[in-house]
Structure 1
């Protein structure tokens, strides 16, 4: 069995996408779910088409060059000819904030705004502008990004999992932009201490936040970047390797 993808929580629960003998199944990551897998070797996750998995034995993980999608908008700043059909759709420019005081600017198609924010695990967010197409949105984003930045790394998000957003900082930021609408997300993790970053698939699911799953294991709490599991072979049975212990374990 191999982890061939993951699905962040939206209207449906977050899930690992697993494949065995080319058949794909979802392993939901709802709170209370018990995971009991040992991680094996890691290699390219191949491709998934519906419920069929096409494996790849190349060593590069999570995807080899042959199976890596090259999204033309990844570093776009609006100096383009709108290469995708989606570029013609109405777009939203937004701020996504992560506890305690980290923010990034981003863009997405207007109808996907709340979904996109949840995919990233934003704690707070603000819809700044609605524009006619993706090219204009990227131009606005690039201008704001010179001051605020346009990406937040997963380790930074994990560092703030047990924190709350600094209210004074967030209010001051909103006053600069006068947003159309604001959002306040609650992922139900209820953490007293920051979880330890680990790559494992054993434990009780506490919840998910963007692409981070929080697991309890032997009295400690761990934060798992789900992308780090993609490509891993799984064996049934709990991991027996030594793990760091959080303060809550003592």
Structure 2
């Protein structure tokens, strides 16, 4: 079997890993309390998962080889496009997102997806600051704000803030330059009293998910796993016996 994808919690159903076996894809629930017991083996291209089916690929590049890598055309758009996609013509929201303790970003999404998009990213707080008629206008505004506020936050940076709270003073200072339409505060249900240990594994009891970060408890330590780092791994059923770093609280 092979781990070929994942779903974050927003949208259809709970968060899940997508595991392919003999051409079929199964969603493995990541609801808190579920037990994962997979041993990761070699890693290669995750191929082409489609619906409940899967076409495997032996190419060594992971998570995807060049043949199976798709580029989202809006990823680096700054509003200089011809709006080639139907979604470009929908109403868009410009937002600010906060990740504990004091990391902030600007972003855009279609207005109806705002709450879902923020949860997909694992934002702790957010503010809807502009509503515009289309994606091109939104990207232009985003590019202007991005001269002062980053437009992306890497997952390792988000992991380093797990178990901490947002710096409220810094967040309020940032919002002072805007007139928010709506503000958000998210609770992902994982009660952490210390920063999890970053690892790549699929063995342990699910504590929860925060965006694409999977939290697993194993041997008294909570681990933070970037689910994208799991994609492409062949896996066998059964708990991994590989030694992993433990937190000080586990001793």
- Using structure 2 for the length normalisation, give the TM-score: 0.98
* Partner of residue 50, structure 1: 51
Q: Which moved more, 1:165-174 or 1:142-151?
A: 165-174
Runs (4+) off by over 3 Å:
none
Q: CA deviation at 1:221?
A: 1.0
* Partner of residue 119, structure 1: 120
Q: CA deviation at 1:50?
A: 1.3
* Partner of residue 92, structure 1: 93
SS of 2:176's partner is helix
SS of 1:148's partner is coil
Q: CA deviation at 1:92?
A: 0.5
Query: How far apart, in 1, do the equivalents of 2:88 and 2:244 lie?
Result: 45
Q: How does 1:80-159 map to 2 (within 5 A)?
A: 80-159=81-160
Any idea what the Cα deviations from partners look like across 1:110-156, whole Å, max 9, x if unmatched?
A: 11100000000000000011101000000000000010010000000
Any idea what the Cα deviations from partners look like across 1:155-178, whole Å, max 9, x if unmatched?
A: 000000110001111111112111
Query: How far apart, in 2, do the equivalents of 1:49 and 1:101 lie?
Result: 38
* Partner of residue 244, structure 2: 243
Q: Is 1:8 equivalent to 2:8 in the alignment?
A: yes
Query: How far apart, in 1, do the equivalents of 2:50 and 2:153 lie?
Result: 30
- Number of residue equivalences: 250
Q: CA deviation at 1:197?
A: 0.3
SS of 2:156's partner is helix
Query: How far apart, in 1, do the equivalents of 2:10 and 2:80 lie?
Result: 32
Query: How far apart, in 2, do the equivalents of 1:177 and 1:216 lie?
Result: 40
- Using structure 1 for the length normalisation, give the TM-score: 0.99
Structure 2 regions of 5+ residues with no counterpart? none
SS of 2:223's partner is strand
Query: How far apart, in 1, do the equivalents of 2:97 and 2:45 lie?
Result: 31
Query: How far apart, in 2, do the equivalents of 1:90 and 1:221 lie?
Result: 40
RMSD, aligned α-carbons? 0.7
* Partner of residue 41, structure 2: 40
* Partner of residue 234, structure 1: 235
Structure 1 regions of 5+ residues with no counterpart? none
Q: CA deviation at 1:84?
A: 1.1
